[in-house]
Every structure is written in structure tokens, then in C-alpha cells.
Structure 1
Amino acid sequence: MIIRIPDFDDISLARERIRPWIHRTPVLTSVTLDRMSGARLSFKCENLQKAGAFKVRGATNAVYSLDDAQASRGVATHSSGNHGLALSRAAGCRGIRATVVMPRGASRAKSRAVETYGGEIVTCEPTMAARQRTLAEVIERTGADVIHPYNDARVIAGQATCALELHEDAGPFDAVVAPIGGGGLISGTALTLAALAPGTRIYAAEPANADDAYRSLQGGQLVTADAPDTIADGLRASLGDMTWEIVRERVTDVLLASEEEIVDAMRLVWERMKIVIEPSSAVAIAVILARPELFRDQRVGVILTGGNVDLDDLPWS
């Protein structure tokens, strides 16, 4: 099967398509984190994005790429949270139905947001096989268009607009660091910067407890993991064939963070930057603080991917 990777024209079209429906999020800095890392960090704050995460970019681009006949059948996906709530919001904006397959045990805050935005939740066991099987049943029942959380050119092009804004507002950078789960954001980031700043190194930040992307890059072939156990719930997915192709060709390295490092980085940002980020966002900061020699005296862009946190279940409470 031929995989069509989005190009910069697709990214530019996505930017115009989603502009009315998203925030151009701010880029913040922190003297404290600069001192701790030895680098000059610029934080792209997608935790302040509509629906609380960068996922709204890709979901909105996909929904508004549908023609009227496709849209009338609705959309469906599987998601541990942020993509599902983002798709529910985008579908609501267009006035169409959204069905989200979510694993049991998903974040209560994210489940509530899906329902608030009008999405219908169908629960399944917390494995990728169960997600895919349940989604197939939903599609057979509804005929909805599948908007995959990351292995979809429309979604990748939408996520790529995040790095486009970051580069325009604060670039160019020596390196950019973003979390990796299924790989939609890091793929879009890599494609954008390959066009605009090809000398920028791209680092993917991954929980050590969900290290399938790290093992894939080290071994040179796609490795998947089913239901890894990490506090970074947004990063439990494995790469798809499309995102793996981009990661393999364009990502400099995958850097790992322990669960303790993730929680410490999350708390540090809450305390020092006074903004709410979720554990998945904190992985990018954790890997930088753990490797000061890799980033010292460099300009580094960091994508804070989301801020959808269950306040009744904080990791330090």
C-alpha cells in the first residue's frame, strides 16, 4: 500500500481551514527552567488550546476536510481522551455526530469533556485490539467516517500547524522536543520543520514505561505495545505505519523519561510557570532536564501538548 505523507501545501491548507476554530496559543519562557536546563526554552502552550490540547488541530482539519455526504454520516474514532474530546468538539462545530471508543479507566475529566462536547462514548477493554474491534463495530453500525487519532494524513497536517506557529513566533531553533505516543504531533512537527528549518533537530519524548517508539527507532522496524502502564495516558498508543515512516526518516532520537521524572516535571511547571499541564506534556520537559549536556546553550522549542487533568486524582495528592 502506498502511504501518502502530507506535504507543506497540505499543512498550509490545514492552517487556513482550522483558523476560525482554534487558538493561536502563546509561547512562554521561564528563567527557572532555563537555568535548570542550561538551555533557552520556548514553550508552545497547547494546554491553553481549545478543548485543552493540540489534538483539536488535527481533528478539526479532518472534520472540515469531509464533503457534505461524508459528514452527514458522522465521524468516529478510538481515543484515551484528548483526540476523542477534540473530535467531539470539531463535530459539534460542524453539526454532525461523533462516536468515541474509549477504554475503561480513561480519565474521568476527558470522558466528561467528550460528553460535554456532544460525543457519544462507547467503552471497551483497555487494549489496542479491543479499541480497534469496537471501533469496527461502530463503523459497521453507523457508517461514520473514521478519523484515526494519528495515522491519518489529515490529522498529521492539522497537528503540523502547531510547529508552524512555534517557528513563526519564536524560531528558528537548534532543537524542538515534543511528546510521542501514536506519533501524529511529532510527525507533523518534523514535516513542518523539514520545510522551514531543516537544520533543526527533532527529539521525541516518550515514557520509559511505554517505549515502543524508542525500541522501533533503535531496532529499525516498527514495534507496538498493547496497554502500557504509564501516568502519561495520552502517550499509551503505538506508532502507525504512516507516523512510523516519518519518525524513522526525520526524528533525530527518542528520549525516555521515568514515571518519577514525569511527575516531577509536571509539578515543576505548575509551581514555577503557573500553568496547568497534564503528564503527557511533562514528558518533554522531563527528558530535557535529565539531559542538560544535550541541550546546553541551545535554543530549544518545547511543545506542551495539553492540560486536561483530573483534579481529583493528581499524582502528588
Structure 2
Amino acid sequence: MLDETVKIPSYEDMLAAHELIRPHIRLTPVRQSDYLNELTGADLFFKCENFQEPGAFKVRGAANAVFGLGDEQAKKGVATHSSGNHASCLSYAAMLRGIPCNVVMPRTAPQAKKDTVRRFGGKITECEPSTSSREEAFAKVQAETGGDFVHPYNDPRVIAGQGTCSKELMEQTGGLDMVVAPIGGGGMISGTCLTLATLAPETKVIAAEPETADDAYRSFKAGKIIADDAPKSVADGLLVPLKDLTWHFVSNHVSEIYTASEEEIVDAMKLIWKYLRIVMEPSSAVPLATILKNKDAFAGKRVGIIVTGGNVDLDRLPWMKGD
């Protein structure tokens, strides 16, 4: 049950966020592949958020939070915990505004993501790869710095910012039957629900999740949040649980959640690298993996796919032997 004191972001909040962040983000392209359309039987539109400067969609929510801060709070900076992309994007937004950024990251986070955080001036504190360890380490960091906590996904400013992605996608495509995005904590899915519920209520929102980290799928079926503390998947950006605010959007607006195996995710990642010719991370391949696995649900439809990020260790790609 959502706490009555929690602010649920509105469509107007998303529109305001888009105006605020527009100077600080890129209007990312939408790509298509005749081969992938033929393979799936659907008309696929890939929204390439991996082309954002920090390499992920999360720059939208991060920029909305950072540039929405009052001057006094901004002096103390921002702080967060993240498996990588939110940390990178918050560091980037903080760098643009010239304020400090402290992040807690799992020690197992990809080196590419740690390098990006440091490149943008973020200060990293490492923790063990579990939600409980992450939150415990973060509490200490925030107490020491006084930075404004920008949650990776359970934050109305972040969700409003992420909702700008599907607004652009609908404008760029002229309308879709479905939009599919990966789900971990649910920030992008929540933003997508927020936008489409008003802008295109006939468009279905579908979430895609790894089988080995399927707590959102199980939550969806059970009608309540089921949280795993430390799941494992090649899709390292999708290993965190839903929270009350994102669960509000998922439970009220998501039409279906599909899952894919580790092998299916890697196979889909290869297909996108080969036929879209773009660098994207395993988490971003989960939507295509689930579409290939459930072709009948998507056949003949105009389907938007949000390519959420492209930060990968090029020396440790998931199909390399020994990893």
C-alpha cells in the first residue's frame, strides 16, 4: 500500500521535467531492422537511450532531480546507491551543475560503469552485491555528506524524468501498439506508464525481466511486492526490487511481464549488436529476448523497445569464453 505522504508524479510533472532537462540530454534516435522485424513478425522501433552521453536513459531522471534542487541544497550535492547506470548519470548531471556526487556501488559492478562514474567526478564507496548491504553503506555516506538522496528509481522526480523517454518515442514513431522495457526496480517502466496512461492509453506497457531475477514477475502475479535480496543475472542493471512508488505504477498500468533465460538474453544481445549495429548492455537485450520467446503476443504489432543503456566491459562480454 502506497503511503499517503508519498507524492505520485503526474503527467504535468513529466512535461515540466522534459522542459527542465532538454538542454542537458540528447534526443536519442529510433532505429529499425528489417531482419529483426522479419524474425519477430512485429514492427519494432528501438529507442536508443544508449546514445545518451553517460550511456543510459537514467540521465533523464537524474538531470530532473539535480536541476530541480534549490541552490542551498545543491551546495551539499547529491548522493545515491546504484549498480552503475544511475550512478553514472547522477554524476554526469551533478558535474553539469558543478555540485558534488557521492555514490555507493556493488564491488561487482562492471568496471566500465565505475570508470564512467569517476570520469564524471562521482566519488564511489563500494559495498557487497546485495540490496541490504547497499542501503546500509548508503546510510553512512549520506549521513557524512548531507547530499540530497536521489533514489535510483523510487523517486517521483526520477520517474517523471524517465517518462520523457516514451513521450519522445511516441512523437518519433507516430504511435505504437505496445512499449516494452526492461524491469528491475521499475523506474523506466513507471515513467512509461506515467506518460502513456495519459498520452496514449490504448498503448500497452510490457515489462521484460530475467528469469533468474524475476521478483517483479512474481510480484505482478501475486499482487504484492516480492523482493529478492541478491539475485544474479547477466543483466546486471535489473537486480534490484520494486519499491512502493514503482509498484504503484506496475500494479495499476503494466499489461504483462515476460521473462527470458540467461541464454536467451545473450542471444538477443548478439542479434542487436549484429543487426542494429549498436553497443548495448545485457539488460537492454531482455525486451527482444522476451519478444522472441512470445512471438504470438507481438506478431503484427507496432512495438517500441527502449534500449536502456550501453555501458559494457568490452573485455568481458557475456559470450566470451571463461566469463
TM-score, normalised to structure 1, is: 0.99
Q: Which runs of 5+ in 2 are unaligned?
A: none
The one-letter amino acid paired with 1:213 is A
Indicate the residue corresponding to 1:271 in structure 2: 274
Name which of 85, 94, 119 aligns with 2:88: 85
2:281 matched to 1:281?
Answer: no
Name which of 131, 151, 159 aligns with 1:148: 151
CA distance in 2, matches of 1:273, 1:183: 25
2:299 matched to 1:300?
Answer: no
Indicate the residue corresponding to 2:36 in structure 1: 33
CA distance in 2, matches of 1:274, 1:173: 23
- Give the match's secondary structure for 2:207: strand
The one-letter amino acid paired with 1:4 is K
2:24 matched to 1:16?
Answer: no
2:218 matched to 1:215?
Answer: yes
CA distance in 2, matches of 1:214, 1:202: 14
CA distance in 2, matches of 1:80, 1:279: 14
Indicate the residue corresponding to 2:73 in structure 1: 70
2:179 matched to 1:176?
Answer: yes
Name which of 88, 100, 114 aligns with 1:97: 100
The one-letter amino acid paired with 1:193 is L
Name which of 150, 161, 173 aligns with 2:164: 161
The one-letter amino acid paired with 2:31 is L
Indicate the residue corresponding to 2:250 in structure 1: 247
2:131 matched to 1:128?
Answer: yes
- Spell out, residue by residue over 1:133-191, the C-alpha distance to the aligned partner (whole angstroms, 9 max, x if none): 11110111111110000000000000000000000110311111000010000000011
The one-letter amino acid paired with 2:211 is A
- Give the match's secondary structure for 1:50: coil
- Spell out, residue by residue over 1:207-245, the C-alpha distance to the aligned partner (whole angstroms, 9 max, x if none): 001101000010000110111110000000111110001
Q: CA deviation at 1:12?
A: 0.4
Indicate the residue corresponding to 1:114 in structure 2: 117
- Give the match's secondary structure for 2:121: coil
Q: CA deviation at 1:15?
A: 0.3
Indicate the residue corresponding to 1:257 in structure 2: 260
CA distance in 2, matches of 1:44, 1:271: 17
Indicate the residue corresponding to 1:191 in structure 2: 194
CA distance in 1, matches of 2:136, 2:81: 10
Name which of 222, 227, 232 aligns with 1:229: 232
Identity between Structure 1 and Structure 2 (%): 56
Q: CA deviation at 1:4?
A: 1.7
- Give the match's secondary structure for 1:101: strand
CA distance in 2, matches of 1:179, 1:199: 20
CA distance in 2, matches of 1:208, 1:316: 18
- Give the match's secondary structure for 1:23: coil
Q: CA RMSD in A?
A: 0.7
Name which of 48, 51, 54 aligns with 2:57: 54
Q: Which runs of 5+ in 1 are unaligned?
A: none
TM-score, normalised to structure 2, is: 0.97
- Spell out, residue by residue over 1:268-312, the C-alpha distance to the aligned partner (whole angstroms, 9 max, x if none): 111111111100000011001111100111111110001001001
Q: CA deviation at 1:43?
A: 0.6
CA distance in 1, matches of 2:171, 2:147: 36
- Give the match's secondary structure for 1:297: coil
